[in-house]
Chain A
């Protein structure tokens, strides 16, 4: 059962513009959400997280928005840079669970 879904396998954006990556989840018990960035032949690198008690968390060029009623979160990158080109994974966990669930990833390409 895929509890975390990233429905866009790829996204292409021009340098300097905003990148918006989306993620939906089905488990209403999830209370901690994360975004990871992954380059080829490397492990995922933690980018930003948000607790379910918040609806927005910002860190430099990266902002994560959480809409609990829609069970939806998004990652905004602005301005996008070519070095942001990578696969982005959305992840979620619930306090009652002992693991973290990942989406299938979205490949972001930022064109110079």
Chain B
């Protein structure tokens, strides 16, 4: 598609429950990024993919967070055993090119999934 599509728009989970968020990148974009925005503060980078391969996962809290981008499926971000501090808006973004100083292209963002952990 022509837009990054994120589902669901809102997600409410009790503390300790699992949460799974989905992202369909723009067709033809090889790079997918996940960001977490807490309380309208800056975007915290979580993980990036180049096609189905993890590009960078230095931002991921590895104990409870995992992510995948499988061929012919939306990308997903899963949080096992959610905690109150996981409440945030999770943005997915995709890009055609990345990491090349001559041919960089911007990240295109979805509208986010608001996760509320109660």
Contacts and interface: CB of A to CB of B under 8 A. Distances in A.
A102 interface: yes
B82 interface: no
Contacts of A41: 111
B106 A34 contact: yes
Contacts of B107: 34, 46, 91, 100
Given A42-B111, A98-B48, A103 B42 contact: yes
Contact of B59 (A46, A99, A102): A99
A15 to B, nearest CB: 25
B112 interface: yes
A51 interface: yes
A89 B110 contact: no
B45 A32 contact: no
B41 interface: yes
A23 B40 CA distance: 18
A99 B42 contact: no
B96 to A, nearest CB: 12
Given A41-B111, A44-B109, 9 more contacts: A2-B42, A44-B91, A87-B40, A93-B104, A97-B56, A98-B58, A102-B42, A103-B42, A105-B40
